[in-house]
Amino acid sequence: MSLHRLHRLFRGIARHFHVLTIAALILFDVQAASARQNGAGPPGDVVHRPKPAPLVTYALVGRDVIEAHLRAAPRRNEDREAALDSMFVQAGCQVGNLSEEPVKRKRFPNLICRMPGSLDATIIVGAHFDKVPRGGGVVDNWSGASLLPSLFESLHDQPRKHTFLFIGFTAEEEGLVGSRYYVSQMTPDEVARTQAMVNIDTLALGATEIWLTHSDRRLASAFLGVAQSMKLPVAIMNADRVGNDDSASFMRRKIPTLMIHSITNSTLHILHSADDNLGAVRFADYYNSYRSLSAYLAWLDATPDQPE
């Protein structure tokens, strides 16, 4: 079955929030998918294999809320951490689970929202909240940071197996400072318990993309399966020659990562420029990215054996 002919495996249940139920999932060979994306290999070379998944649920925050959070992007770094803190509180992250991690020689801390789970295992979802001086920093990276509270809200209505850590990293634009510091403070036991780190950086420029060379193959395969099962667009787009992202800090400690973005050759010029503003945003694609990520995190939580 080709990537373009997946059957929808999700069904909706009408509630205050839109709740979806995942009944099954198809995982794909991402190496074959990557080869086809780059024009290598014959058509139809994408290998698929059935993979059952437990029944899981999550709640979708409305598109109006997602858009409002993005439109409210603060223009100054000194306002961004406070705004993200406020959004976490509004989403239901209680004071006892919301904390700051001071980072040496940096004015602003990492911001951490903890969602306890029943297993001795952790999933980290991260996005940096700082911006460069030029431009509004809407795409890079308020698009990622402002999704963190909504992703928390999507998951916290149901008991979860994994402990989720939603982390807003400081000073990424200065050389991944916040994420490097966070990883440096992790004990060997904390590293061993971390099943996945999902990094979100620079969404809203178009369809959801996976930076495959910064991603664990099994995590990427599962994300492809979730998005395609929902008939949401997803592509593989590596950006190794463009720069770096916070997933690299976790890769150094051998923690499985998934890097999600939306950059293409035609939109690269927007980063770190005056064009990084609301005029560059494609809101429909942005909400689709949120939908894919919400479903993926719920599925990942229900399959504690991933990745192997």
Per the domain annotation, does 22 fall within a domain?
yes
pLDDT one-digit tens code per residue, 213-235: 999 999 999 999 999 888 999 99
Per the domain annotation, does 231 fall within a domain?
yes
Per the domain annotation, does 47 fall within a domain?
yes
What is the CATH number for 122?
3.40.630.10
Say which DSSP state 175 is in: T
Rounded to whole angstroms, the maximal C-alpha distance in the chain is 54
Per the domain annotation, does 265 fall within a domain?
yes
3-state secondary structure of 244: coil
Per the domain annotation, does 124 fall within a domain?
yes
Per the domain annotation, does 307 fall within a domain?
no
Range of the domain at 269: 3-302
Per the domain annotation, does 29 fall within a domain?
yes
pLDDT one-digit tens code per residue, 57-89: 899 999 999 999 999 999 999 899 999 999 999
State the average pLDDT for the chain: 84
Residue 177 belongs to what H/E stretch?
A: helix 177-184
pLDDT one-digit tens code per residue, 26-49: 444 444 344 334 443 333 323 333
What integer pLDDT is reported at residue 114 of this predicted model? 98
pTM of the shown model: 0.85
pLDDT of 25 strictly over 70: no
Per the domain annotation, does 308 fall within a domain?
no
Burial of 18 per CB tally in 10 Å (0-12, 13-18, 19+): middle
β-bridge partners, 160: none
Q: How many domains does the chain have?
A: 1
Task: Enumerate residues 6+ apart whose C-beta is below 8 A from 307.
Answer: 195, 196, 216, 217, 218, 219, 256
